[in-house]
Chain A
Amino acid sequence: MAGADDIVRFDNVGLRYGTGTEVLGDLSFTLHAGRFYFLTGASGAGKTSLLKLLYLAQRPSRGAIRMFGTDVIMLPRERLPALRRRLGVVFQDFRLVPHLSAFDNVALPLRLSGVSEDELRQPVADMLDWVGLGARSDARPATLSGGEQQRVAIARAVIARPELLVADEPTGNVDPEMALKLLRLFESLNRLGTTVVVATHDVTLLRKVPDSLIMRLDGGRLSDPTGALRYPPRREAATVRA
């Protein structure tokens, strides 16, 4: 039975690509609104595959997924865009539009949502300032460093204040100081009500968000090394039912 604050619910979800073996199996968990989750695991554990399911780039091979109270397995594809606009995604490879400036890349989600140019100009400029790229708002991605591109990608993911933010190694290409700053940005967003899921290899990050929950993937299965997911402290809300 889904709770009122369940934002994502997986039931016995499995994923295989083509006729290969399952890369994810028997995933059953719930993400609660307004919580901060770290998704960890070794390379090849299935983190990116799980994130793809979360940002609706992939349908599972089996099981059921509900997001924002909607069954996404049965949802007609023409209704997926409206659901995607409630998400913010930071891709591991940034995926910036190459011929658009940093400003236009960050403004894209707002424009897709129908925000007028007058309304979006200031928030986009503020966001670029915040990630330290105010002076480079006209720069094309090809002229930005890897770290700068990553910051543009993060700014684009959070500019529309998504209900669920999914970030794949969002601090992988930035220095520790900027990594911490970006983490603070995610925390700020989280305090405003956004549920955050950050996939990372960097275990030092985990300690820097005190109220975060850890989801550990191992061989395509979700494990719960700290027990916090199965036996969450009162404030923690993620649960694993399998």
Chain B
Amino acid sequence: MRLPLSRDAAIGSQRTAQVLPAASLGGPMPWVIAIMVALTVLTAGGAISLANFASEARSGLEGGVTVQVVEANASAREAQARRAAEALATAPGVAKVRRVPQAEVESLVEPWLGEAANSEVVALPALIEVRLTGDADKAALSRLRGSLAKSAPSARIDAQADWLGPVFGVITALRWLALVLIGLLTLASAAAVWLAARNALDVNRATIEIVHHLGAGDAQIARLFERSVLLDAALGGAIGLLLGGGALALLGGRFAALQAGVVERGALSALDWLLVALVPVIMAGVALYTARRTVLARLGRML
């Protein structure tokens, strides 16, 4: 039998893969990966949910303006509110005007003021919701103020987006924090794989030397470890996805049960779930790459 001298396909075969003992990266590796994947899934899911919420809220508030007529005298307030609504309806750049019924205003503040919200003791402002055709920027607000200056001198005009400006700031900060956390978790996973691969190399040093002397190339030997890492990552990733995805679904259900429109805006879509499901795949890729680099670096020191 004449042998080929440069073929190296067989090292990847089922039989040759047994050159290294099963579970050569060590027992806890799948669990370490599972924990990392679960945490990353939760973090990624939270970040996507916050992004959805911010995006929905921003588009809902775009071009939105609130006019408050703050006047202690009820009849004067009502008269100014009526004139303001009429003026706004004909003002340029205004798409829609809605006078918020007084009962709705009272119900909005009732949780804070109680019965006082329905009495004349507290003078609640009259509210008018305005939707502009363009952005509610400073120029647009200034134009509106000018058109209401005479008809409703007690009117205060605010862009709705301004109220939630600090909230958007917090959401942006949280999204960055989530990104940093995902990066750290990925680094921690890579470090765990690096340590496990080094340990496995030490444990299997004698076997690796034998295979090396018999003519196995670095890539062939690295492939033996990759197989083991891939199995660990697949198992750990599946467990992690189940744990993290389950927790995410549970939390989503709890938030949905609140029946608060604002919160529901953060719900994950099918595409979002697909992105979350990519976490174990990416983690497996990171583990594979780390193991390969570690093994090749160590083998590079052998002749």
B213 touches A55 (CB 8 A): yes
Chain A residue contacts of B1, Cβ below 8 A? 115, 119, 123, 161
Among A97, A98, A112, A161, find the residue whose CB has the most chain B CB atoms closer than 10 A: A112
- Interface pair B2/A161, CB less than 8 Å apart: yes
- Output the least CB separation between B11 and chain A (Å): 6
Report how far A162 CA is from B44 CA in the complex, Å.
56
Q: Are B217 and A109 in contact (CB under 8 A)?
A: no
Chain B interface: which of A29-37, A73-81, A221-229? A73-81
Is the beta-carbon distance between A57 and B5 smaller than 8 angstroms? no
Check if A112 sits within 8 Å of B303, measured CB to CB: no
Query: Could you tell me the distance in whole angstroms from the C-beta of A31 to the nearest C-beta in chain B?
Result: 19
Interchain CB contact under 8 A, B217 and A98: no
Asked if B16 and A111 make an inter-chain contact with CB atoms under 8 angstroms apart, the answer reads yes
Q: In this assembly, does B206 line the interface, its C-beta being within 8 Å of a C-beta of chain A? A: yes
Known: A55-B213, A81-B216, A84-B213. A110 touches B3 (CB 8 A): yes
B147 within 8 A of A: no
- Residues of B near A191 (CB, < 8 A) are none
8 Å CB interface, B1-23 against A? 1-11, 13, 15-16, 18-19, 21
Contact A114 B9 (CB under 8 A): yes
Complex: A119 Cα to B7 Cα, angstroms: 15
Q: Which of A151-210 contact B (CB under 8 A)?
A: 156, 160-161
Whether A114 and B303, one on each chain, are in contact in the complex, defined by CB atoms closer than 8 angstroms, is no
Say yes or no: A113-B5 contact (C-beta < 8 A), given A80-B303, A99-B21.
yes
B215 at the interface (CB under 8 A from A): yes
**How far, in Å, is B18 (CB) from chain A's closest CB?**
7
A109 to B209, CA, bound (A): 14
Partner of B3, one of A58, A95, A96, A160: A160
Q: How far is the CB of B8 from chain A (nearest CB, A)?
A: 7
Do residues B10 and A111 form an inter-chain contact, with CB atoms below 8 A?
A: yes
Query: Can you give 24 contacting A-B residue pairs, CB < 8 Å?
Result: A55-B213, A78-B217, A81-B215, A81-B217, A81-B220, A84-B213, A84-B215, A85-B6, A89-B214, A95-B209, A98-B207, A99-B21, A99-B207, A100-B18, A107-B15, A108-B214, A109-B214, A110-B3, A112-B8, A112-B16, A112-B214, A112-B220, A114-B4, A117-B15
Chain A interface residues toward B at CB < 8 A = 55-59, 77-78, 80-82, 84-87, 89, 95-100, 104, 107-117, 119, 123, 156, 160-161
A56-B213, A85-B3 given; name 8 further pairs at CB < 8 Å.
A59-B303, A80-B303, A82-B5, A110-B3, A110-B10, A111-B13, A112-B215, A113-B3
